[in-house]
Structure 1
Amino acid sequence: MIKKFAILLSIVFVIALTACGNSNDSAAGNANTSEPEIEAETELIITATNYSFDQEEYHLKKGVPVKIIFKNDSGNHGILVPEFELQLNAKKSSKVIVPEEAGTFEMTCSIMCGSGHSGMNAKIIVE
């Protein structure tokens, strides 16, 4: 009796996991297709190495569409700029943004990368 219950419980668990996995995959696919395509006028490549970005400051022009391309030279890193809804990493390495507001914005590493993670930041300056 206990064996039958354990087998039945295992089957229900596998079905539940399968249903959850399919739901998440289709939702992720829909999110990518609903994003409007914007033609970039320029590109900005941001390269990460262990505990630093290749520049301390990156300059953008207000209202000009720019394709941000993230490259990871060493370690496991990502970038996050909440004001631009920008989060890039190895899975999603580029995005076109249009900076609508002038100012200085903090860019941080979005993946816990080790002892120097907290100091891994740079500035994006929109002029």
Structure 2
Amino acid sequence: MLTSALVCMAALAVTGCGGNKNNNAANNGGTNAGTNNGAGTNAGTNAGGGGAQNITVKATNFKFDQTEIHVKQGDKVTVTLVDEAGSHGFAIPDFNVDIKENNGTATFTADKAGEHPYNCSVMCGSGHANMVGKLIVD
């Protein structure tokens, strides 16, 4: 029995962040449209908010390329998830964002000031808990 459990855990670690590639548009708080403005970038700024931000987040086993993302309150934010290794998700629960497919996007309005945690939303093995960051809405 112990051997079976070890084999299962090893299989999870090798496969990366699971195999679920479904993107539920109702759960990602937006649409599957948007522009990818470069990997690992926050594009566009507007001192008063209300601008547009196109953000690409790259995911590997077991980390995101950005652990902090800054936007202005009122900005319309489009997040694109790019899986570079494994299969990952990207969720910001405070904004009902949950992207579960490679090159999937979600668009939302950053209308809540403060720090909002984000995480990998697809179980991906031993390092899954390390896949976290925060969206900071100024």
| TM-score band, normalised by shorter chain | 0.5 to 0.7
How many angstroms apart in 1 are the aligned matches of 2:131 and 2:97?
16
1:40-119 equivalence runs, <5 A: 41-90=52-101, 93-119=104-130
| More divergent stretch after superposition (108-117 vs 91-100) | 91-100
Q: Compute the displacement of 1:42 (Å).
A: 2.5
Flag the structure with higher helix content.
1
Aligned-partner SS, 1:45: strand
Q: Compute the displacement of 1:41 (Å).
A: 2.1
Q: Compute the displacement of 1:104 (Å).
A: 0.5
Q: Alpha carbon RMSD of aligned pairs, Å?
A: 2.9
Aligned-partner SS, 2:129: helix
Q: Normalised by the size of structure 1, how large is the TM-score?
A: 0.67
Q: Give the letter aligned to residue 105 of structure 2.
A: S
How many angstroms apart in 2 are the aligned matches of 1:46 and 1:92?
10
How many angstroms apart in 1 are the aligned matches of 2:95 and 2:80?
14
Deviations 1:23-72 (A, max 9, x none): xxxxx89x69xx68x99722011111111000110111110111111111
Is the 8 Å Cα contact of residues 77 and 109 (structure 2) preserved in structure 1?
Answer: yes
How many angstroms apart in 2 are the aligned matches of 1:52 and 1:46?
10
Q: Give the letter aligned to residue 117 of structure 1.
A: H
Q: Compute the displacement of 1:92 (Å).
A: 7.3
Change (3 A) 1:123 1:93: same
Aligned-partner SS, 2:80: strand
Aligned residues: 97
Q: Normalised by the size of structure 2, how large is the TM-score?
A: 0.62
Q: Give the letter aligned to residue 95 of structure 2.
A: F
How many angstroms apart in 2 are the aligned matches of 1:76 and 1:70?
10
Q: Compute the displacement of 1:90 (Å).
A: 1.1
How many angstroms apart in 2 are the aligned matches of 1:88 and 1:102?
22
Q: Kindly name which structure, 1 or 2, has the bigger radius of gyration based on alpha carbons.
A: 1
Q: Which runs of 5+ in 2 are unaligned?
A: 1-23, 35-50
